[in-house]
Amino acid sequence: MELIESLVGSKLVAHGLIALLNIILLLAAGPISRSFNDGRNTDFQQGLLRVLAYMLLALTVTDLVLVWLLPGYHQFFYRLGLSLIPVYGAIFAFNIISHFIRQRFGIERKIDEKLVYLDSYNSRLMDIFAVVLLVLIGIYALIKIWGLDSLLETTGIFGLIFAFLALTNQIWAPDLYYGMVILNSDMMSDGDSIRMEDDKNIYIINKVTFIYTILLNIQNNHRSLIRNSRLINLTVENLTKRASIDGLREVLHYNIGYPEVHGHDREQRELDMQKFKRRIESMFASVAEKVSDNENNKINNNCELEWALTSAGDYALQYSLWYYLEALPNTKVTRNIRQHLLGTRYMINQLVFEQSLIDGVDLSTPLLITQSEKPARKALPGGHS
User: Which tens digits make up the pLDDT trace of 216-230?
Assistant: 999 999 999 999 989
Q: What is the pTM of this model?
A: 0.66
pLDDT attached to residue 4: 42
Count CB neighbours of 257 within 10 A.
15
- DSSP letters of 47-59? HHHHHHHHHHHHH
Alpha helices in 36-120, H assignment, sequence order: 43-69, 76-105
Tell me the pairing of strands 248-256 and 202-208: unpaired
Query: For 5-44, what is each residue's pLDDT tens digit?
Result: 443 345 666 666 776 776 776 676 667 666 666 656 666 6
Strands (E), 119-228: 193-196, 202-208, 212-217, 223-227
Contacts of 95 (CB under 8 A, 6+ apart): 32, 33, 36, 37, 45
Using alpha carbons only, give the angle 98, 115, 35 rounded to the nearest 5 degrees: 45
Mean pLDDT of the chain: 80
Q: What type of residue sits at position 89?
A: G
- What digits encode the pLDDT tens for the residues 304-355? 999 999 998 888 899 999 999 998 988 899 999 999 999 999 999 999 999 9
DSSP bridge pairs for 250: 323
Per-residue pLDDT at 85: 78
pLDDT in tens, 61-82: 777 777 667 766 666 777 777 7
Provide mean pLDDT across the span 139-149.
80
**Amino acid identity for residue 221 in this structure:** N
pLDDT band at 370 (very low <50, low <70, confident <90, very high): low
At residue 27, the pLDDT reads 73
Give the C-alpha separation, 176 to 208, whole Å.
11
